[in-house]
Amino acid sequence: MRIDYLKHKSVILKLVVITFFFGFALKLIFFHSLPQKTLLVMEHPFHEKTTNVTEQQNTLVSEHVPEIEDQLSYINTEKCDYLSGDWVPNPKGPLYSEDCNHIEPYQNCLKNGRPDREFLYWKWAPTNCDLPSFDPHKFLNAMRNKAWALIGDSITRNHVKSLMCMLSTVGQPIVLYEEKGFKSKTWHFPSYNFTLSVIWSPFLVEADIIEDINGVPNSEIELHLDKLSSKWKNQFMNFDYIILSCGKWFLRSAIYYENNTILGCHSCPKRNLIELEFTFAYRKAIKFVLNSMVSSNHKGMIFYRTFTPDHFENGEWSNGGTCKRTKPVKEGEMEIKYLNKMLRDIELKEVGNAVIEASRNGVNLRVVDFVPLSLLRPDGHPGPYREFHPFDKRDKNGEVQNDCLHWCLPGPIDSWNDILMEMVVNG
């Protein structure tokens, strides 16, 4: 118990220290120079309402857990610090090919005509420990009779597809459940009695999203910051492993509720409501979800995965931003965007508090923070190749929409599974 506790603590502390230095550098670079930005949110990436990051948010100071100094001694107790490392050449390449039928067309960069392939030949290598490649046999054997659920937005779905492609190299699953619109789905690997679910719940908390025929929200989302999403609240105790995450959906226009009472609204100028920052809801929702987990008596393992950074350069995704790089960058070469940092800081703070509380309650809650390693892979996104041969059908003036948020499959997020396997199979 004590050792587990220290282990948890050391993960948080490492995160805290890393964010602290990250944050410090960024504050110096960024603090006074951020323009007011228009942001679009991507799930149906390309027809969203815009929301503003206001000056007030730009001056929001990241919060750090105090007492770093006297706790530094715990930091080296974690078996593998997968957070610091480097992308190293991996001549073997990915475990699966673009023929994996679980890959969604939007993320099948190679089939969509992406010409360069170098981005496939890298592997995340932590500085101070070995990280074996994901081994589907070993994973499925270890997960015999277990049920997993990955709960979140389209990045979660992106991640699940990577895992599915890896697993289906050794065994074919059957589909147990499929929601209309394919947003939530459950697979079963009969030879291992292993069940894997992806549950679409981009806010984790209860959200009324009224969508038009194209799946685009056509009015403000109604967000209940003190209710778990009905998409998973009655099921989660049945899952042995849960990976929770959320992210940019919180930037959207939304009315915030607590105890069924309107608290205010984010980005709805036409309504006569108190304007609240999305960071308010982000923090509150994450805190509530994690507290619910902490007090749940869940006997398995719960991961909170931090939000992943986008890599739009020379613009955002609404105004011509692109991601044309073909190689990973080195640590320090690429700054984390202010917004991405802000979301991650909130997550690390809330999950840090919750992990400590969870270990007191005997709940196994851990954080997985893929931000540092994902940040170094600006080359891993579909860019224009979210569409099939995007440049064939356009005339020279036609604009091609880029996606620098989701990840090509195969691609860098395959390494996320190397790390998860290390955490669940080898401790």
Three-state secondary structure of 352-394: HHHHHHHHHHCCEEEEECCHHHHHCCHHHCCEHHHCCCCCCCC
Per CB under 6 A, the segment of 5-13, 20-28, 141-149, 243-251 that binds ligand NAG is 141-149
Per CB under 6 A, the segment of 4-12, 145-153, 304-312, 356-364 that binds ligand NAG is 145-153
195 touching ligand NAG, by CB under 6 A = yes
272 touching ligand NAG, by CB under 6 A = no
Q: Quote the tokens at residue 371.
A: 């931000």
Cα–Cα distance, 93 to 122 (Å, whole number): 7
Catalytic residue among 403, 414, 415, 418: 403
Residue 362 burial by Cβ neighbours in a 10 Å radius (0-12, 13-18, 19+): exposed
Position 1: which residue type?
M
128 touching ligand NAG, by CB under 6 A = no
234 touching ligand NAG, by CB under 6 A = no
Q: By C-alpha distance, which of 349, 303, 311, 307 is closest to 333?
A: 311
Count of residues that interact with ligand NAG, criterion CB under 6 A: 9
Q: By C-alpha distance, which of 38, 27, 28 is closest to 60?
A: 27
259 touching ligand NAG, by CB under 6 A = yes
CB 245 within 8 A of CB 416: no
Active site residue 406: yes
Sheet holding 241-244, edge to edge: 174-178, 185-189, 194-200, 147-152, 241-244, 301-305, 364-368
Residue with tokens 């890959």: 103
Residue with tokens 């619109």: 181
Q: Which is nearer to ligand NAG, 82 or 257 (CB)?
A: 257
Q: Quote the tokens at residue 84.
A: 């610091």
Q: Which is nearer to ligand NAG, 26 or 339 (CB)?
A: 339
319 touching ligand NAG, by CB under 6 A = no
Catalytic residue among 62, 154, 197, 229: 154
Per-residue x/- marks for ligand NAG, 47-86, CB under 6 A? ---x-x----------------------------------
253 touching ligand NAG, by CB under 6 A = no
Active site residue 154: yes
Per-residue x/- marks for ligand NAG, 149-188, CB under 6 A? ----------------------------------------
Active site residue 64: no
Q: By C-alpha distance, which of 7, 27, 6 is closest to 345?
A: 27
Q: How far is the CB of 259 from ligand NAG (least distance, A)?
A: 4
296 touching ligand NAG, by CB under 6 A = no
- CA distances 118 to 114, 308, 329, 361, Å, are 11, 22, 13, 46
Q: How far is the CB of 425 from ligand NAG (least distance, A)?
A: 17
38 touching ligand NAG, by CB under 6 A = yes
Q: Which residues bind ligand NAG (CB under 6 A)?
A: 38, 50, 52, 145-147, 193, 195, 259
Which of the residues are catalytic? 154, 403, 406
